[in-house]
Amino acid sequence: MGGADFRIPFFLVTDMMKTWHLLLVVFLFAACSQSTEVEFKRDGKSLYYNFGGCANCHRTNDQKLVGPGLAGVSKIHTEAWLKKWLKDPKKTWEENDAETQEMRKRLGEEKKSSPGMKLMHPLEDEEVDGLVEFLKTL
Ligand code: HEC
């Protein structure tokens, strides 16, 4: 028996490993949930420019791209119509209410049987609300 024995008892090593594993799991979980948040961010502006694909067809000024420029669009349309349109352009087109008729006339699309606007993916009600809020800023 010469000198002190500095070995760490085995039970302590496994205990420390458990702590590390726990920390690792917590860290990975935090990292993952954070990246998911960024990837699926769905506020109106993000939807407009990314996930919703609006910017593929619309400019935020008064210039036409595929669809009309959207500057001031919330002053042309009622909020209820905007929500209806974003929820289902095809159905809105076919129903052809007074506001849709006005738009079609303004855009010279009275005779088109279906809308040029095709959504990249169906929008949830909250996403529609967010988009309408964003449109109000244009
Ligand atoms: C594939 C192209 C395309 C995409 C994607 C698209 N739009 Fe459209 N949008 C159009 C076209 C074209 C019109 C004109 C009416 C028509 O023919 O459908 C229109 C019309 C509109 C109008 C009415 C404009 C007016 O002057 O009365 C609004 C508001 C609108 N879009 C918002 C959006 C938003 C918000 C998104 C994203 C969720 C979007 N659009 C995605 C093509 C598109």
Instruction: Write the CATH number for 81.
Output: 1.10.760.10
Q: Residue 107 is part of which domain span?
A: 44-135
Q: Is residue 112 part of a domain?
A: yes
Beta carbon of 58 within 6 Å of any ligand 1 atom: yes
- Please report the pLDDT score of residue 40 as a whole number: 55
* Ligand 1 pocket, residue 132 CB under 6 Å: no
**Backbone angles phi and psi of 97, in degrees to 5:** -65, 175
CB count in 10 Å sphere of residue 115: 19
Interval between CA 37 and ligand 1 midpoint (Å): 27
Ligand 1, closest atom to CA 134? 35
Total domains, the chain: 1
Q: Residue 14: inside a domain, yes or no?
A: no
Tell me, in angstroms, the distance from the centre of ligand 1 to residue 70's CA: 8
At 83-131, the pLDDT tens digits run 999 999 999 999 999 999 999 999 999 999 999 999 988 999 999 999 9
Among protein residues, the one with the nearest Cα to ligand 1's atom 41 is 54
Any ligand 1 atom below 6 A from CB of 88: no
Ligand 1 mutation target, pool 86, 90, 117, 137, most atoms within 8 A of CB: 117
Q: Is residue 57 part of a domain?
A: yes
Rg of the chain (C-alpha set): 27
* Contact in structure between 54 and 46 (CB atoms under 8 Å): no
Determine the Cα–Cα distance for residues 110 and 105; give it in Å rounded to an integer: 5
Note whether residue 93 is domain-resident: yes
Structural domain includes residue 34: no
Is residue 96, in this structure, part of any structural domain at all?
yes
Task: Give 78's DSSP letter.
Answer: -
Predicted confidence (pLDDT) at residue 8 exceeds the cutoff of 80: no
In this predicted structure, which of 3-7, 93-97, 133-137 has the lowest mean pLDDT?
3-7
Cα distance between residue 102 and residue 48, in whole Å: 24
If one counts every other C-beta atom within 10 angstroms of the C-beta of residue 113, the result is: 6
Cβ atoms of 138 and 70 within 8 Å: the answer is yes
- State the distance from the centre of ligand 1 to the C-alpha of 107, rounded, in angstroms: 11
Under the banding of pLDDT at 50, 70 and 90, the label for residue 23 is confident
Average pLDDT over residues 9-35: 76
Residue 7 pLDDT greater than 90, yes or no: no
Query: What pTM value is reported for the model?
Result: 0.78
The pLDDT score that the predictor gives to residue 17 is 76
